[in-house]
């Protein structure tokens, strides 16, 4: 008879929860990476615009153009601050999800370890039982002689 773990349904649920928590953690990490790329892109654009503005100032640009450029610069900074806030929020969320994942992983590991220990004990008893049957057969055959 094969080994059957009585808590197998609970173990499957714990594995499912662990997988879900890992997926959420990975999804948040991808969002963080995306926001970081956006921030880097915004900073690169800001540096390029600054260099362009300095060249235009040196060439004698009109004041209305500079006013428009300053408006764009202000909106860019606001967008950058919003991205930085979103990044901070995502990092907090990632820490919470990491704690959830570690907790669900520990709970699953407890059951996995219990299953493994019970299976080893079952196999040991089954092996001893088979050995006892073999010993009994051997003794029975030698008594007949």
Q: Is the dihedral of CA 108, 113, 116, 118 positive or negative?
A: negative
Q: Would you give the end-to-end CA distance of the chain in angstroms?
A: 33
Residues 77 and 71: their CA atoms lie apart, in Å, by: 10
pLDDT tens per residue across all 145 residues of the chain: 789 999 999 999 999 999 999 999 999 999 999 999 999 999 898 888 878 777 777 777 677 776 777 787 888 899 999 999 999 999 999 999 999 999 999 999 999 999 999 999 999 999 999 999 998 888 888 887 6
Calpha distance 100→96 (Å, rounded)? 6
Give residue limits of the domains in the chain.
8-108
């Amino acid at each position: 008879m094969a080994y059957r773990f009585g808590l197998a349904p609970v173990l499957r649920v714990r594995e499912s929860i662990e997988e879900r928590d890992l997926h959420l953690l990975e999804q948040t990490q991808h969002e963080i990476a995306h926001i970081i790329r956006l921030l880097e892109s915004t900073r690169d654009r800001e540096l390029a615009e600054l260099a362009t503005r300095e060249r235009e100032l040196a060439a004698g640009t009109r004041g209305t153009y500079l006013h428009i450029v300053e408006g764009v610069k202000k909106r860019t900074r606001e967008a950058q601050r919003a991205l930085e806030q979103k990044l901070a929020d995502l990092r907090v969320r990632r820490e919470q999800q990491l704690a959830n994942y570690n907790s669900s992983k520990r709970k699953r590991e407890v059951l996995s370890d219990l299953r493994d220990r019970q299976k080893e004990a079952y196999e040991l008893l089954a092996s001893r039982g088979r050995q006892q049957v073999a010993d009994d057969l051997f003794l029975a055959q030698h008594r007949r002689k």
